[in-house]
Amino acid sequence: MRWLKKFPWLSLIILIATYSLAGWHYAEWTNEMILEGNLWLWNMEPAIAAAVVNGIAVIGVFAISNIVNTPFDSLTMGLGGWLKTEAKAVMSIFIGALAFALIVQRLQHFVRFLILLSAFLLFKLDLRNAGYSEVTSRILLILFSLGSFASGVASFYQLSVISYQ
């Protein structure tokens, strides 16, 4: 029961709340796309389209969780030789300018992403400070973020009056 006292409950509540709210917003957004028929210009049944879109979102949350959990040394190892030539440096400047333009254009989505990322990192830091191993913290982070996102999507479909028939 000692681990129960050391568990970071406040940051877990923040993580669950932010990912559940993100799941709710995502389900609301995809529901509008599905009902309007604007899902990648495919002609699908709405129930199948909802399952595909929500499955892609769960895979995206899983991928982001794994990327954030990757050690920083592994991410920077491949970038060491990238900026040694002028062509690659100029290409990096163009990619950075494009990313900045997209961030400014879609600031609301970028802020939501930063809030999700900060809740994720807060819980990760609290787990590491509580003495949990890297593997245990990675598993807990992925489970709680996926579960919270999926509960947000499910609660949107349960609490909203939506029927795909």
Please list, in sequence order, all residues whose beta carbon lies within 8 angstroms of the beta carbon of residue 150, skipping any fewer than 6 positions away: 23, 58
Q: Is the pLDDT at 72 greater than 90, yes or no?
A: no
| pLDDT tens track for 16-71 | 999 999 999 988 888 877 777 666 666 777 777 778 888 888 888 888 888 777 77
Outline where the chain has alpha helix (H): 2-6, 9-36, 46-69, 72-77, 86-105, 107-129, 134-159
Total domains present in the chain: 1
Instruction: Find the angle CA(41)-CA(59)-CA(93) to the nearest 5 degrees.
Output: 80
Does 31 reside within a domain?
Answer: yes
Residue closest to 127 by CA, chosen among 137, 135, 142:
137
Domain that holds residue 10: 2-72+82-159
Does 164 reside within a domain?
Answer: no
Does 165 reside within a domain?
Answer: no
For the chain, how many residues are written? 165
Q: Which two tokens stand for residue 10?
A: 């406040």
Does 77 reside within a domain?
Answer: no
Does 118 reside within a domain?
Answer: yes
Does 100 reside within a domain?
Answer: yes
Does 54 reside within a domain?
Answer: yes
Residue with tokens 């990238």: 82
Residue closest to 54 by CA, chosen among 77, 80, 31, 20:
31
Q: What's the chain's average pLDDT?
A: 81
Confidence (pTM): 0.77
Name which residue leads in pLDDT, 109 or 151. Answer: 151
